[in-house]
Each structure stands twice: as C-alpha cells, then as structure tokens.
Amino acid sequence: MARKKQRTPDAPDAVSVVAHPRARRSIRRLRARAGLIALVAVTVLSLRAGVPPFDAVLRGLAGGVLAHFVAWGAGILAWRHLVVAELAAHRDVQEARLRELREAAEQRAADAAAAARA
C-alpha cells in the first residue's frame, strides 16, 4: 500500500492549521465527539418520537455525519483564528525582547563613550 504524502504549505514559512500539532488533534477530537453525540441524540429522539428503529438509526447516522462536517468547519474556523492570535502574541514578545536588547546595547554604547571621554 502506498504511503500518503504529508501535506505541506506552499511556502516554507506559511501558516497552516494542518501543520499545527494541537489544532490537528483538537479538530479530530471535536469531529469525533460531535458525530457520536449527534448520532446518539438523534437516534434517541427519533425512537422517542415513535419512528421505527431502522429509520431512527438511519436518521441518527445522517445527523452524525452532518454534525461531523459542521464540527470540522467550526474547528477549522476557530483554529485559524487561534493560530493567527498565537503568532501575533509570539511576534509581540519577540519585538519586546528585541527592543530590550537594542536599549541595552545603546546603554552599553553610551556608557563606553562616556568612559572613553573621561
């Protein structure tokens, strides 16, 4: 059996939900739980409404599949925003660190210039 190629973003520095390890696990878990919960809920509600068992299970399967895809879309949408927010927070931390390093270097240069004059 041939191995599937791992999907990679077009650019090496591109942001992707697929490449985010927590996002993949979270979306997979969300899809599974939503599908199972919808399957059970729709089946139980259909049986309580007097629908024949075969039709109730069929409705449950349809509801589970629908919930699976809705949860997938919602998970992708939520994680896109979370990944962008994580990147923005990381960028802010890096910019603050760079600013501190520049200020420290300027202070050292000013101290060295003052010592050279004295």
- pLDDT of 26-47, one tens digit each? 999 999 999 999 999 999 999 9
pTM, entire model: 0.69
Residue 91 to residues 12, 16, 18, 101, 114, Cα–Cα distance (Å): 18, 17, 21, 15, 34
CA 41 – CA 35 distance, rounded (Å): 10
Where in the sequence is the domain holding 107, given as residue range(s)?
A: 21-117
Total domain count, the chain? 1
For 58-114, write each residue's pLDDT tens digit.
999 999 999 999 999 999 999 999 999 998 999 999 999 999 999 999 999 988 888
For residue 56, being part of any structural domain is answered with: yes
The answer to whether position 10 is within a domain reads: no
Tell me, yes or no, whether 70 lies in a domain: yes
Residue 5 within a domain = no
Give domain status of residue 108, yes or no. yes
Q: Tell me, what amino acid is at 116?
A: A
In a domain, 65, yes or no: yes
Q: Is residue 105 part of a domain?
A: yes
* Residue 41 neighbours by CB under 8 Å, 6+ apart: 60, 63
Residue 16 belongs to some domain of the structure: no
